[in-house]
Amino acid sequence: MSLPAVPWAAVESRARSVAAGPVVRSGGADHLLVRDLVTDSRAVTPGCLFACVRGARSDGHRFAEAALAAGAAALLVDRPLPLDAPQLLVPSVRALLGPLGALLAGDPAAHLRVVGVTGSNGKTTTSTLVRGVLEAAGECAGVVTTLGARVAGQTRGTRLTTPEAPELHGLLRWMLDAGATSAVVEASSIALDVGRVDAVHVEVAVFTGFEEDHLDHHGTIEQYWASKALLFTPERTDSAVVVVDDPWGRRLADQARVPVTRVSTRPEVPADVRVVGWRTGLDGTSVVVEDDGGRHWICSPLVGRVHVGNIAAAWATGRSLGLAPETIAAGLAATAAPAGRNTLLRGPGGPLVVVDYAHTPRALAAAVQTARDLTGPGGEVHLVLGARGRRDRYKRQGLGVSARAADTVWLTNEGSHGERPEAIVEELRVGLIGGSAVVHTVLDRREAITAAVEAAGSRDVVLVVGRGHETTLTDDGAPVPFDDAEVAQEALDSRADELVAEQAS
């Protein structure tokens, strides 16, 4: 992908049009051409604009000299630097990343039909479903989620759920160049809070639901909610689809200053799109929704009651985009679940294994209930549970409380990030006090998954949560390869081999 070159004068003009304060340019002729906007000095390309972002642990101004040595053409700063290079002094570098990232990528969002999706749970699944609906309508649709970016059979990895603004605009440019006519962007609360989706105006903003999360960043639940609510303003979206099953969703729907389509999976909650019936099993999920066009039957290959709300939200989004009911239904029926979202594994004579990303108390409760729905007669639920180190400690007891609904719990390491795994597990264990589940502690995650698979019967379900699609695990040092689904499948295969050997003896 070759990004268009932009004159230095145009960069200054865009900065002046959006900055909340004075902008001072020093050095560089008007016709100096700038390509790309980079925030990491290690990723500098010749001719780029290097943004000196102040972070929690480092200050990008310290790396300006290295960026220039690597070929940067100019600097974006919030304090003048004693360097012989063109500089644009602005009140806040971070606040300009979106507008300038968009400019240097050719303002790709302006040429795409964009849908933004936020919420505590279900963002990745709902984004994937909406993309499927758009493709069923004949669009070439890109998507940016926790799993990375995809368009027209091409994929790119992303380090963050929602990439930094310059990278996000670069991905939208990549999608546009690949023939995309639309894009679905998963917008995390942190991304909204720090401006990663700035200069992306969406046609529909989707809210999938809300519960406490990321308070290590936001501080309070009110701040967390307020960050998500930023997407639902006239400056950022034309309309909204809001799941109103919880009070936070209803509050957002009441306060949003754009047209809102309310979605509910609960019959007692008034909504524009209502789920009036559903059924889920190993073959997928069927949902009956009712809207102003009547009742519609939707079939999806996604498994689990947790996906009922995601399916309904995707349906409402399709309707908000003006698509025909039969087109939306076809798109939902053709869209497979994203990796690590109720991924089902099975081997001869072994239990059903479900690998899921559930990492909040409410998501875990829903995952355990789904696992219970999938057990055979008299079957039990074996839960492999951990919690991430150095993150959201307040959630750990809540996860333990939700885990009480399982029959057996295998407490293990989920990636300690330098924290003591034993301490993390003990905080989970506090939430399990008073429950009837049998609790084992096996800190080695591979051993825990293997032990759960070996202990479960053929009618049981082993539920492995917390990591979903992730393929590396981090403790004290560098990340090491670890895929929950691969480990579980190895355990199932080993069990099947043992069964064959027994039958042959």
| pLDDT(393) > 90 | no
Q: Which residues contact 175 (CB under 8 A, 6 or more apart)?
A: 108, 112, 142, 149, 151, 183
Tell me the average pLDDT across 255-266: 96
Report how far residue 240's alpha carbon sits from residue 285's, in angstroms, rounded to the nearest whole number: 25
Tell me the average pLDDT across 107-118: 97
| pLDDT(57) > 90 | no
196 is in an annotated binding site: yes
Portions of the chain given CATH number 3.40.1390.10: 6-104
pLDDT tens digits for range 116-130? 999 988 899 999 999
Q: Which comes out higher in pLDDT, residue 228 or 440?
A: 440
Q: Which residues contact 62 (CB under 8 A, 6 or more apart)?
A: none
Res 213: pLDDT: 56
Average pLDDT, the chain: 93
41 is in an annotated binding site: yes
Report how far residue 263's alpha carbon sits from residue 284's, in angstroms, rounded to the nearest whole number: 21
Report how far residue 146's alpha carbon sits from residue 133's, in angstroms, rounded to the nearest whole number: 19
H or E element: which one contains 101?
helix 93-104
Res 89: pLDDT: 97
- Closest among 201, 198, 176, 196 to 2, alpha carbons compared: 176
188 is in an annotated binding site: yes
- Closest among 262, 254, 277, 120 to 190, alpha carbons compared: 120
305 within 8 A of 340, measured Cβ to Cβ: no
| pLDDT(217) > 60 | no
Portions of the chain given CATH number 3.90.190.20: 343-501
In this predicted structure, which of 19-28, 285-294, 426-435, 493-502 has the lowest mean pLDDT?
493-502
Res 212: pLDDT: 58
461 within 8 A of 350, measured Cβ to Cβ: no
CB atoms within 10 A of CB 262: 21
Q: Which comes out higher in pLDDT, residue 403 or 394?
A: 403
Determine whether 281 is exposed, middle or buried from the number of CB atoms within 10 Å of its CB (0-12, 13-18, 19+): exposed
CATH class entry, domain 343-501: alpha beta
Res 56: pLDDT: 72
What's the topology of domain 6-104?
A: 3.40.1390
In this predicted structure, which of 345-354, 367-376, 388-397 has the lowest mean pLDDT?
388-397
User: What's the N-to-C CA distance of the chain in angstroms?
Assistant: 60
- Select from 3.40.20.10, 3.30.70.100, 3.40.1190.10, 3.40.50.1360 the CATH code of 108-333: 3.40.1190.10
- Rounded to two decimals, the pTM is 0.92
Tell me the average pLDDT across 469-478: 92
| pLDDT(299) > 80 | yes
Report how far residue 336's alpha carbon sits from residue 29's, in angstroms, rounded to the nearest whole number: 52
| pLDDT(473) > 80 | yes
Tell me the average pLDDT across 403-432: 96
Q: What's the pLDDT band for 330 if we cut at 50, 70, 90? A: very high
DSSP 381-447: EEEEE---TTS-GGGHHHHHHHHTTSSEEEE--S--TTS-HHHHHHHHHHHHTT---EEEE--SHHH
